[in-house]
Amino acid sequence: MAVLSGAEILIQALIQENVEVIFGYPGGAVLPIYDVLYDCPLNHYLCRHEQGAIHGADGYARSTGKVGVCLATSGPGSTNLVTGLATAYMDSVPIVAFTGQVNSKMLGKDAFQEADIKGITLPITKHNYLVTQIEELAQTVKEAFYIARTGRPGPVLIDLPKDVMTARTEFAYPERLDLPGYNPTYQGHALQVRAAATEIDQAERPVIFAGGGSISANAAPELRELAWKANIPVITSLMGLGVFPENDLLSLGMPGMHGCRSANYAISEADLLIAIGVRFDDRVTGRLDSFAAKARIIHIDIDPAEISKNVEIAIPIVGDAKEILKELLPLVKGKSREKWHKQLAEWKEKHPLKYENNSEEIKPQQVIEEIYRQTRGEACIVTEVGQNQMWAAQYYQYSIPRTYISSGGLGTMGFGLPASVGVQIGRPGEIVVNISGDGSFQMNLQELATLKNYNLPVKIVILNNSSLGMVRQWQEMFYDRRYSATILTNPDFIKLAEAYGIFARRVEKKEGLALAIEKALQVAGPALLDVKVAQEENVYPMVPAGAGIKEMIGG
């Protein structure tokens, strides 16, 4: 066996795990690793901030289904990963993050750039490690990747003291793992699966509610087959967009606070809700006592902690969504349910998503519709957080899993631009569009340098309303238009992009919108559009805080 340094063992372990891409930012504590990276086959992408690196790894993981990998130095380098780890943890994204650390003999002595990143990230990682012996390193890396990608995916952090990286030992990558306390369930309980099939066959008003877990499990083919075979309408959460084609007649769109009226009405009137890989978070359920009040609920989820956490479940099935749907499909019969589908069709016809478009101002919804028209629904849409995120969810019709990339659970502003870096790297040759608000864009705009450095052809479209749009909307609706700290004085985004050497155009009139988008899409490298949109345009429909999901305003 070869004798290698800890840094060499780390890189060899990554190669063994089929890692191809690392997002990172160097520093003193990780110099031994960067020295090995200098002439190894892994592709390292230098981001301009550690938060950019972990969001890049996040976007890569979400869009490919692979484990994202990022690397940061000790102290502030590691603490700059915290928001990204929490983002990935809330949305169940598989990431392995490596952080440098001071020499192991200096731990706990407040050495320069020391931070207890293991303790700091304990609540926001699926698991984390501090490696103090080089002999533990290879085993730790193998465990980390296994934990990150299996069961309910999530981020894992490994903290690496510098002396462990420079020590030397014999290297042999372990072939097997023995984690007796970690045994995810994949196959559904046979009796529960049969009970679910019986409920589905007997239901008159069933609805499938598909979430991000159905995408993580790669269960789109089985979910679609179930919907088509049993003639069941499908609702998709924000994280589940793309798992079922939104242009299908059975699609009811997104539910919840800013969901479609037809979706919210369907949940409220259904007699059976088949929930697949969802958390039943508050933005979906609204007031809990009125959510799916007429329905029995089947909940399929790989994480037993989610069962009956927020809503009462009649038939829980713990396991992998893809495997369980494979078990369920042969047991389910077809059924017409004409009366139910007639009602759903009436709701869809009477309550489509709509907005007023009779002013001279550019409406943000119009921008999303034009992007959809020109990309034919085939782009990867990466959003920031706020109004831009909701409009991108509402007005771009998704039909392919992993093409709507957004921070759902944590709602992280500044996520979209660095995440789009990872998405474009993970899906080269595909159209990647970052839908941004002017507030969110400024939180990680330094990643423009990363786009330019690697000539990544991400198209950034800023819906510029000179405000923190979603917060301003709440101030308009519930605080008598007292716009406290939400109206922004922005820089010239065109000059900013051009300073980075990036193509940029400003759009202020409706008649120039289509041509500007067409030009940006034709540019070989990155491009930015600063689109001036109506400042007081709101996201509708909207369920006010504390209301039931049928109590929608507008739209």
Residues labelled as active-site residues = 50, 112-113, 162, 470
Structure tokens given for 324: 């369980």
Cis peptide leading into residue 541 (ω within 30°): yes
What single letter denotes the amino acid at residue 249? L
H helices of 112-239, where? 117-120, 137-149, 162-166, 190-202, 212-216, 220-230
Name the CA dihedral angle for 364, 366, 370, 373, rounded to a multiple of 10 degrees.
Answer: 130
d(CA 506, CA 504): 7
Q: Look at residue 431 and give its three-state secondary structure.
A: coil
Which residue is it, tokens 């340094």?
5
Tell which residue, 320, 336, 339, has the closest CA to residue 328: 320
d(CA 527, CA 452): 10
Provide the 8-state DSSP code for 23.
Answer: E
From residue 96, how far is each of 105, 122, 479 by CA, in Å?
Answer: 25, 14, 42
Structure tokens given for 76: 């502030």
Q: Look at residue 67 and give its three-state secondary structure.
A: coil
d(CA 82, CA 459): 27
Tell which residue, 416, 415, 375, has the closest CA to residue 397: 375
Tell which residue, 142, 148, 137, has the closest CA to residue 176: 142
For 362-381, letters b (16+ CB in 10 Å) and e give: bbbbbbbbbbbeebebebbb
Q: Are 46 and 21 contacting, i.e. CB atoms less than 8 angstroms apart? A: no
Structure tokens given for 39: 């002439």
Q: Are 17 and 141 contacting, i.e. CB atoms less than 8 angstroms apart? A: yes
Which residues in 254-396 belong to E strands, given as ranges?
272-276, 296-301, 315-318, 380-383
Q: Look at residue 404 and give its three-state secondary structure.
A: strand
| Pairing assessment for the beta strands 168-170 and 3-5 based on DSSP bridges | antiparallel
